[in-house]
Amino acid sequence: MSDVTASDVVKNGLWTNNPALVQLLGLCPLLAVTGSVVNALGLGIATLAVLVGSNTIVSLIRNHVSDAVRLPAFVIIIAAFVTCAELLMKAFTYDLYQILGIFIPLIVTNCAILGRAEAFASKNKVGIAALDGLMMGLGFLAVLVALGAIRELLGSGTLFADMHLLFGPMASTWMLQPFGDNYSFLIVVLPPGAFLVTGFLIAIKNAIDTANKRRADAQRDAPVKGAKRIRTTGHIS
């Protein structure tokens, strides 16, 4: 377990074992806040920060906490990080905090975080655990932002609206409106749209994986007779 390489960790977090598209963890915030890029980015960054922090600390204390109290200790660490993130967002990006509301404190219930603490950070060295947190967080953030961008573009006809909530006044001119003023496509903005777009994203990812696999198979020699191919879906490494 402890001989995982950094490149494996990077690939796992961003693609093979992406928390949102493969492990399907943390779907509640994923579906709820991705109505626009700025919301997705805000929640994604907060989750990323919490993941890196909790993975680092969990890995640091992994040899000092016995199995019996491991989970309560992890929960305390994660809850502390989330509360800090909440306070900081409230202090520095108050308007965005108002929009994201309950989903910031709810980061604590995002299974991706406790999942990584338990499955990876508690068994690996600090550096690689922090990298895992960073990559899993980036994978989650990327899916959030992709979802937010697609839903904002198709649903409200804008892109990067209200970015000043996160980046200050200079970002208020970033908004694009490719389809003109009055465009709107309601279902994409509403919760069912979140499910639909997530479904399409997962399908696209699977299609790319299948195509890659077929190409790799074609290049390889014919398989030995009787060899079995085991089909695997996502797993927590």
Residues that bind another protein (CB under 8 A): 35, 64-66, 68-69, 72-73, 76-77, 79-80, 83-84, 87-88, 90-92, 94-95, 98, 155-156, 184, 186, 189-190
DSSP state of 157: S
Give the integer Cα–Cα distance in Å for 12 and 207: 18
Encoding tokens for residue 202?
């997962």
Compute CA 101 distance to the chain's CA centroid, rounded to the nearest angstrom: 19
The CB-of-98 to another protein minimum distance in angstroms stands at 7
Shortest gap between Cβ of 228 and another protein (angstroms)?
45
**CA–CA separation, 77 and 81 (whole Å):** 6
Instruction: Please list the residues that pair with 38 across neighbouring strands.
Output: none
- Taking the complex as a whole, how short is the minimal distance between the CB of residue 25 and another protein, in angstroms? 24
8 A C-beta contact, residue 112 and residue 24: no
The candidate with the shortest Cα–Cα distance to 46, out of 139, 171, 141, is 141
Q: Which is nearer to another protein, 22 or 100 (CB)?
A: 100
Q: How far is the CB of 147 from another protein (least distance, A)?
A: 16
In the bound state with another protein, the residue whose beta carbon lies nearer, of 73 and 128, is: 73
Indicate the residue among 64 and 228 with the shorter CB distance to another protein: 64
Nearest CA to 78 out of 58, 103, 101 is that of: 58
Amino acid at 218: A
Question: Minimal distance in Å, beta carbon 187 to another protein?
Answer: 9
Q: Considering beta carbons, is residue 3 or 67 the nearer one to another protein? A: 67
The distance of closest approach from Cβ of residue 111 to another protein in the complex, given in angstroms and rounded to an integer, is 21
Per-residue exposure over 169-186, b if at least 16 CB sit within 10 Å of its own CB, e if not: eeeeeeeeeeeeeeeeee
C-beta closer to another protein: residue 164 or 205: 164
Nearest to 75 by CA among 50, 41, 95: 50
Of 25 and 153, CB closest to another protein: 153
